[in-house]
């Protein structure tokens, strides 16, 4: 079992990182098939999307929540992110996911989705530091695996609530911070602030991993503390897992590869679909329907696929999708 260590460039929260790129939690996207697709391209550490602590307390074998926790334990470290504002529920949720084999438990203190904030969870915890500390203390006390916190800079622009809270959290057993360089009220507007990531790192003992707007080498560098630091990437990888190869090439001073050709794109989508078929615990129709959000991202980011978008999104089963992918390849 990993110990609660802090991190250096090559380790975060005691987890050795073969790659500095970490897959961010993205609800609706970072299920196990997508995590695996990114791992096949060299990622060491991936995050589940946020999981409701209260739902975890009432786990039944058929619940949708349990499906989010369905990953292949032999594939290396997986971080499970939980959200909630009740220290007791959060502690029992953390214990449940640790018992299920999570290598790291992350507490969501950055989500701005209204129904979550209204319940006092996610970014609302930035405004209620005493509750946030009680939550972190309860979670850290409940599990032997490292506990991290994913945060934003604060709630309202310039309020500095994030760093003030992080200063307190680092004395409560938390092992590292993942920092989305925006304030909650910004949502996803403006640009993620990389300077803030370095400021936090200079002000805190624990490692701070930058996150926000990484789409290429220079934007990754903007969010790094040093050239060796890991960074967390979310939207940039949706529909574009090839970003990992481009980032690796950039980091190693090699020529950055071109975006994928139509054949390469279709071959990767077929692999992704195969992973969905193999690992999805939903019905075939549900799995194909949720795969549409990925297809939409592939088409959005690769112009060569745009003429096929409508047909791709209209498919209702695996055979239809596979047949269409073969037809696109032959085209
Ligand atoms: C559709 C969507 C879902 C997200 N879901 C989560 C989530 O479950 N937990 C979380 O901490 N952040 C979530 N985020 C935020 C991302 O993890 C990340 O912090 C943010 O998108 C900025 O990074 P990026 O520019 O690399 O995407 C989500 C973002 C988006 C766009």
Predicted TM-score (pTM) above 0.85: yes
Q: What is the DSSP letter of 27?
A: T
* 6-20, 76-90, 109-123: the lowest-pLDDT one: 6-20
- Quick one: average pLDDT of 260-274? 97
Give the C-alpha separation, 56 to 101, whole Å.
14
Give the C-alpha separation, 177 to 199, whole Å.
13
Q: Is the CB of 110 under 6 A from ligand 1?
A: yes
Confidence of residue 75 (pLDDT cuts 50, 70, 90): confident
Give the pLDDT of residue 64: 66
Q: Give the tens place of pLDDT for each residue, 269-293.
A: 999 999 999 998 889 999 999 999 9
Q: Give the tens place of pLDDT for each residue, 148-175.
A: 999 999 999 999 999 999 999 999 999 9
Q: Give the tens place of pLDDT for each residue, 184-209.
A: 999 999 999 999 999 999 999 999 99
Tokens of 238: 């949706």
Q: Is the CB of 79 under 6 A from ligand 1?
A: no
Most ligand 1 atoms within 8 A of CB, residue of 21, 23, 27, 83 to mutate: 27
Give the pLDDT of residue 69: 80
Q: Is the CB of 180 under 6 A from ligand 1?
A: yes
- Quick one: average pLDDT of 221-228? 96
Confidence of residue 10 (pLDDT cuts 50, 70, 90): confident
Contacts of residue 46, Cβ cutoff 8 Å, sequence gap at least 6:
22, 23, 30, 35, 38, 39, 78, 79
Give the C-alpha separation, 301 to 291, whole Å.
16
Atom of ligand 1 lying closest to residue 24 CA: 17
Tokens of 304: 């060569």
**Residues of the chain above pLDDT 90, percent:** 87
Confidence of residue 60 (pLDDT cuts 50, 70, 90): low
Q: Measured between alpha carbons, how far is residue 64 from residues 18, 25, 178 in Å?
A: 31, 17, 26
Q: How many CA atoms lie within 13 A of 3 on its CB side?
A: 2
Contact by Cβ (8 Å): 111, 121:
yes
Give the pLDDT of residue 58: 73
Give the pLDDT of residue 3: 34
Q: What is the DSSP letter of 258?
A: P
Q: Measured between alpha carbons, how far is residue 185 from residues 197, 202, 277, 327 in Å?
A: 18, 25, 38, 45
Q: How many CA atoms lie within 13 A of 256 on its CB side?
A: 12
Confidence of residue 268 (pLDDT cuts 50, 70, 90): very high
Pairing of β 51-52 and β 231-233: unpaired
Give the pLDDT of residue 70: 78
Q: Check whether 262 has a pLDDT greater than 60.
A: yes
Confidence of residue 89 (pLDDT cuts 50, 70, 90): very high
- Quick one: average pLDDT of 304-328? 97
* Distance from chain centroid for Cα 151: 13
**Residues known to be catalytic:** 111
Q: Is the CB of 48 under 6 A from ligand 1?
A: no
Confidence of residue 1 (pLDDT cuts 50, 70, 90): very low
**Alpha helices for 7-81 (secondary structure H):** 32-40, 53-57, 64-68
**Averaged pLDDT score across all residues of the chain:** 93
Cα 326 to ligand 1 centroid, rounded to whole Å: 32
Give the C-alpha separation, 314 to 274, whole Å.
18
């Amino acid at each position: 079992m990993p110990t609660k260590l802090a991190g250096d460039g090559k380790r975060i929260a005691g987890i050795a990182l073969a790659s500095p790129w970490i897959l961010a939690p993205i609800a609706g996207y970072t299920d196990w098939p997508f995590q695996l697709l990114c791992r096949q391209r060299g990622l060491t550490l991936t995050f589940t999307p946020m999981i409701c602590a209260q739902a975890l307390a009432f786990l039944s074998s058929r619940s949708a929540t349990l499906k989010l926790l369905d990953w292949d334990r032999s594939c290396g470290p997986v971080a499970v992110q939980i959200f909630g504002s009740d220290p007791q529920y959060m502690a029992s949720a953390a214990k449940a996911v640790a018992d299920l084999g999570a290598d790291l438990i992350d507490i969501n203190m950055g989500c701005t989705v209204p129904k979550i904030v209204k319940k006092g969870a996610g970014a609302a915890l930035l405004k209620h530091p005493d509750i946030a500390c009680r939550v972190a203390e309860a979670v850290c006390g409940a599990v032997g695996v490292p506990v991290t916190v994913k945060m934003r800079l604060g709630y309202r622009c310039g309020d500095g609530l994030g760093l003030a809270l992080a200063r307190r959290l680092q004395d409560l057993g938390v092992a590292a911070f993942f920092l989305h360089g925006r304030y909650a009220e910004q949502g996803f507007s403006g640009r993620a602030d990389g300077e803030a990531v370095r400021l936090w790192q200079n002000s805190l003992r624990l490692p701070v991993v930058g996150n926000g707007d990484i789409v290429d080498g220079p934007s990754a560098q903007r969010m790094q503390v040093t050239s060796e630091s890991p960074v967390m990437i979310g939207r940039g990888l949706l529909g574009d897992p090839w970003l990992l190869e481009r980032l690796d090439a950039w980091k190693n001073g090699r020529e950055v590869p071109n975006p994928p050709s139509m054949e390469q794109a279709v071959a990767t989508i077929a692999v992704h679909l195969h992973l969905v078929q193999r690992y999805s615990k939903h019905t075939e129709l549900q799995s194909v329907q949720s795969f549409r959000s990925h297809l939409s991202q592939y088409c959005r980011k690769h112009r060569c696929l745009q003429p096929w978008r409508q047909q791709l999104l209209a498919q209702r089963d695996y055979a239809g999708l596979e047949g269409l992918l073969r037809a696109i390849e032959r085209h």
